[in-house]
Amino acid sequence: MSVPVIAGLGAAQPPSASQDELWEGFFSRHFSGTTRSLAQRIFANSGVTRRQAAVNPLLEDVSDWPTERRMRRYQVEALPLGKEAVGRALTAAGLDASDIGLFIVCSCTGYATPGLDILLARDLGMAADTQRMFIGHMGCYAALPGLGAASDFVTARGRPALLLCAELTSLHIQPSTARVDTQQIVSHALFSDAAVAAVVVPGGRGYALREVTSVTDTSTADHMTWDVTDAGFRMGLSPKVPQVLSRHVRDLVDGLLARHGGVSSDVDGWAVHPGGPRILNVVERELALPPEALAASRATLDEHGNCSSPTVLLILDRLSRSTPAPRRIVMLAFGPGLTLYAALLDRQD
């Protein structure tokens, strides 16, 4: 039975703006009173220098838009972005859209029917018998269960699968308020837009997907939320999240590696979702990693912000293009639940 292999990655991002431009041109006016000074400190210490936005607040203020209007705009913006990412991933894998047996789309920032899975399958020329799966509201870790589902399909059917993670967090800027709401300030300082696609095939060159695993601490389910409101989707992000991660991440990673005869020192590539600087600091400390181990994650946060589900794939793409490319990679992502996901990849030449 062939090992499932990530044979191609493709990324697409809307235009970017610097964090300073976003603060001076929009968010400094969006917050008022004592909230403004707090927000300025959070923006300055976010670990983000540039971010991408399909709906740039410097040009268009969506903070008072109703959810219906945001969802209509989601379809307009996400479709070409997803198409570009998928096209690049297919080209990298040397495949046509008609070769795909399963098409998985992950997104928590917009909903419509027909959705991206149907419209992209139509526009790209996928076969009529291509199976489709939509993964919604899993948030920042969705890419890993998406890869797990693609891997299972490839293993069982011997046909290629395609995963697309597409998020437009820029559509969900919340209305201005004089009340101090640290959770909203943090989310407004971190989040960004992107689409990343991955092609998984039976065997060949690329990164073999050895295992996807997870742990969920349901006692902390209220620590990370994403609520549908009349004014878009509203993030809830407890400052206690790093503490929860610190309790679980070491056992999760050690168990994953042990099942494949390895230890953390065998890993030369770490793709850790940068939910924020504190998240990366906790992972680095709990796994006893050297300072350079999370360089790709910190650089991705710096250049792209937190793009939710595509982010860990952006880091994987960065690692795969480095010289020399890592031989063994651990991917880690975190989200609502509170859930930790991990995946183990080995390079096959």
Residues annotated as catalytic are 140
With residues binned 3-state (H G I as helix, E B as strand, rest as coil), the percentages for the chain, rounded to 5, are 45, 25, 30
Using an 8 Å Cβ cutoff, are 186 and 276 in contact? yes
Alpha-carbon distance of 250 to 201, in angstroms, equals 30
What CA–CA distances, in Å, run from 179 to 26, 190, 328? 18, 20, 47
Q: Is 308 left (phi over 0), alpha (psi -120 to 50) or beta?
A: left
Paired sense of beta strands 161-168 and 102-106, if any: parallel
Helices 67-93 & 116-124 angle (0-180, nearest 10): 40
Q: Is 219 exposed, middle or buried (0-12, 13-18, 19+ CB in 10 A)?
A: exposed
